[in-house]
Amino acid sequence: MSQATTARPARRRRSGSFVGTYGLLVLAVALFVVFAIALPGTFLTRSNLNAILGANSIPALLALGAMIPIATGKFDVSIGYTLGLAHVLMMVLVVRGVHWVLAALLVLLLMTCVGVVNGLLVELGKIDSFVATLGTGSVLYAITGAITNGARVVPGSTGLPDWFTDLYDSTFFGIPVSAWYVAIAALVLWVVLERTPLGRYFYVLGSNQRAADLIGLPTRRYSVYAFATCSFLVGCAGVLLASQQQIGNPSVGSEYMLPAFVAALLGSTVIKPGRPNSAGTIVAVVTLAIGLAGIGQLGANFWVNPLFNGVTLLIAVGLAGWSARRKLMAGVAANKAVDATPPPGATGLRTPDDQLRDTTGAHASATPVISPDDPAGPTA
């Protein structure tokens, strides 16, 4: 076989790896260039770019929160209702005279407790995460309605404290301060997931919970940690939403859920294909933000946004499945290559024991190798 023939599959693998890793980032750049050319007077302006960053800071925090249970193989579909309760509760406390710092701390503590309850229902109650968090989401929505009696929470004649409204309205180095919150949260999650044992345990739990149990990981505890961290980030988004809207709307929150899951799932197909990661989630949020902003400025109808999110979600799920299958096939191919390589000093003659192992499939290389320190999780 010629060298040119053997080089072609290698080039295809490299190009496929590049597209899988950075394809969405390239798409974001391409969309930005297209809309900048098509809308030079409105899209490519500082005010518009800052508006895009500010408007998408809350969906970005939600997406980062939703990403964490997904990394452990679970889903938290209560994030929209948790967001609604957090922002209404924040407004109620501030309007009633509680200092906004104390109110924010109380909201974050309560939302973290919501995440702990979700984790306990899933791990101790043995309820599917989708069903459990859907149920708690309905309860949270009922609590939100009971607090507000179905009405909006409006500040009095004195208004809201300036420091509280500046949480969203202010800028830092010319960039909305809310975008800096997202950057800090993404950086912290990247360090935790990629550089600490806790992140590795999350990925092991998400890839194979049975294997995690076999090696002695306290899977219940780490699952609760994942749900609690998710709800904490959602609580942060709720405080920021209250500062943005400056009124308490009991019906807000549910419309944020779909974009958050779209970004979290789409982000798992890039940068670190096959597993949720904060860098990929941010790339997905930026891509969706550019696309929606450009479409809106081109004069699209109101129904285009949910259509765009729904189609993107289907694409994200499909790409996530394709990436997982591609990774699995690569691992199988690597194992076959190892099996086909004779050990040093081998004569090439096959013994009856070799034939028996071939028949039963009892290759030593097929034994699962599981290590908590392996960031990729257990492999076969």
Token duo for residue 371? 């290590």
Helix (H) or strand (E) holding 179: helix 177-195
Contact 75, 133 (CB under 8 A): yes
More confident residue, 309 or 245: 245
- Three-state secondary structure call for residue 369: strand
Token pair 């959602």 in the structure block, residue:
234
Cα separation, 119 vs 104, in Å, equals 23
pLDDT at 229 > cutoff 90: yes
Write the pLDDT tens digit of every residue in 337-377.
655 555 555 554 444 454 444 444 444 433 344 444 444 44
Task: Give the range among 53-67, 134-148, 322-336 with minimum mean pLDDT.
Answer: 322-336
Tokens 């891509």 appear where? 287
Give per-residue pLDDT as tens, 84-105. Answer: 999 999 999 998 888 999 999 9
Residues 266, 275: Cα–Cα separation, whole Å: 10
- Three-class DSSP category at 208: coil
Q: Taking all residues of the chain, what is their mean pLDDT, rounded to a whole number?
A: 80
Q: What is the pTM of this model?
A: 0.78
Residue 227 has pLDDT above 80, yes or no: yes
pLDDT exceeds cutoff 80 at 166 = yes
pLDDT at position 270: 78
Q: Residue 229 and residue 76: Cα distance in Å, rounded?
A: 11
**How far, in Å, are 34, 307, 338, 353 from residue 358 at the CA level?**
56, 52, 14, 9
Is pLDDT at 191 greater than 50 in this prediction?
yes
C-alpha distances out from residue 46 to 51, 106, 212, 264, 298, Å: 8, 36, 48, 27, 18
The pair of structure tokens assigned to 240 is 């920021």
The answer to whether residue 255 scores a pLDDT higher than 80 is yes
**Given a cut of 80, is residue 323 above it in pLDDT?**
no
User: At residue 333, does pLDDT exceed 90?
Assistant: no
Looking at residue 6, its pLDDT comes to 47
Q: Which two tokens stand for residue 277?
A: 């990661």
